[in-house]
């Protein structure tokens, strides 16, 4: 299969779906992590082209660790708009990658880049099958399954955890993916969230990362206990510490329960 995860910034795919992407990659599928923006304002000290280059390199390294591919589009962070040009870019991208599964944000989110990424992907969801839309790129004969990445937002609609993937067995890889995104997990986000300053030693940093990120990631696991039990049974579901959750977008192909079992790795 060809899986395409489209986040707004370099670190969104990794944070919200990194473990599942590792599992897909290990199963032999082609997984591409796409960032709609280059992240050039996502820092309290550094910015502009130097930061964009740094974050592109971080995303490439995280993808390498995961066994995935990385694409960072050259749109300014904080300035993404759901334009026709962006719709065509994503339609062509999904066609060229022959996407079977597409993951992205929900359109209800605190960050405009997240919201507009969701709108752009949803606007392209049907158009990827239309021959005379971007006729320079061959259409997809079959509409992909489009999925929303997990979030905690409740208005206007609460995230519906329809699919859950337990990722404890690949969390060592996901932690390493996040670890190499130093500009974000050790610099920008701690400063932004008022967290204690991250240590400088690599081993101490990894321990710091787990200490401060595990509660946030674990909250998603609690949100998905019912979906986990449906897939893994009550015993495994109750033992899961880390899980990644997905909601099916109605704009793409609606998979059956049997197909979901085939599409998603246990």
pLDDT on residue 266: 73
**133-148 residue pLDDT tens:** 999 999 999 999 999 9
Residue 150 CA to residue 246 CA, distance in Å, equals 6
Q: How confident is the model over 108-142, as pLDDT tens digits? A: 999 999 999 999 999 999 999 999 999 999 999 99
Does 230 score more than 90 pLDDT?
Answer: yes
- Measured distance CA(200)–CA(182) in Å, rounded: 10
pLDDT tens-digit profile of 9-26?
A: 999 999 999 999 999 999
Strands 243-248, 145-149: parallel, antiparallel or unpaired by DSSP? antiparallel
The residues with which 260 forms a beta bridge, in sequence order, are: none
Query: Tens digits of per-residue pLDDT, 46-102?
Result: 999 999 999 999 999 999 999 999 999 999 999 999 999 999 999 999 999 999 999
CA-CA distance, 76 to 113, in Å (whole number)? Answer: 10
Question: Does the pLDDT value for residue 248 go beyond 90?
Answer: yes
State the pLDDT at residue 179: 98
Q: Are 107 and 119 in contact (CB under 8 A)?
A: yes
Confidence of residue 265 (pLDDT cuts 50, 70, 90): confident
Distance CA 137, CA 182 (A): 37
Given a cut of 80, is residue 207 above it in pLDDT?
Answer: yes
**End-to-end Cα, the chain, rounded Å:** 16
pLDDT digits (tens, 9 = 90+) for 153-191: 999 999 999 999 999 999 999 999 999 999 999 999 999
Phi/psi at 4 (5° precision): -125, 115
CATH 3.10.20.600 fits 2-263, yes or no: no
Tokens representing residue 208 in the block: 């710091």
- More confident of the two residues 130 and 265: 130
Task: Specify the pLDDT at position 252.
Answer: 93
């Amino acid at each position: 299969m060809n899986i395409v995860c489209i986040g707004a910034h370099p670190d969104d795919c990794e944070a919200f779906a990194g473990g599942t992407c590792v599992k897909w990659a290990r199963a032999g599928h082609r997984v591409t992590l796409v960032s709609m923006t280059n992240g050039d304002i996502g820092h309290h000290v550094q910015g502009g082209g130097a930061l964009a280059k740094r974050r592109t390199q971080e995303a490439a390294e995280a993808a390498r660790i995961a066994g995935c591919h990385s694409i960072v589009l050259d749109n300014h962070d904080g300035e993404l708009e759901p334009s026709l040009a962006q719709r065509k870019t994503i339609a062509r991208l999904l066609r060229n990658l022959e996407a079977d599964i597409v993951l992205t944000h929900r359109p209800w989110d605190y960050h405009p880049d997240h919201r507009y990424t969701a709108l752009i992907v949803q606007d392209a969801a049907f158009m990827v099958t239309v021959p005379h839309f971007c006729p320079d790129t061959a259409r997809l004969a079959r509409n992909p399954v489009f999925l929303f990445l997990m979030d905690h937002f409740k208005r206007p609609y609460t995230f519906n955890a329809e699919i859950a993937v337990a990722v404890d067995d690949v969390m060592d890889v996901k932690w390493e993916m996040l670890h190499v995104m130093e500009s974000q997990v050790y610099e920008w986000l701690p400063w932004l969230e008022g967290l204690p300053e991250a240590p400088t030693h690599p081993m101490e940093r990894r321990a710091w990362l787990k200490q401060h990120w595990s509660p946030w990631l674990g909250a998603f696991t609690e949100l998905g206990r019912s979906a986990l039990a449906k897939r893994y049974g009550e015993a495994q579901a109750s033992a899961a510490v880390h899980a990644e959750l997905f909601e099916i977008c109605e704009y793409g192909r609606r998979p059956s329960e049997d197909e979901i079992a085939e599409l998603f790795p246990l």
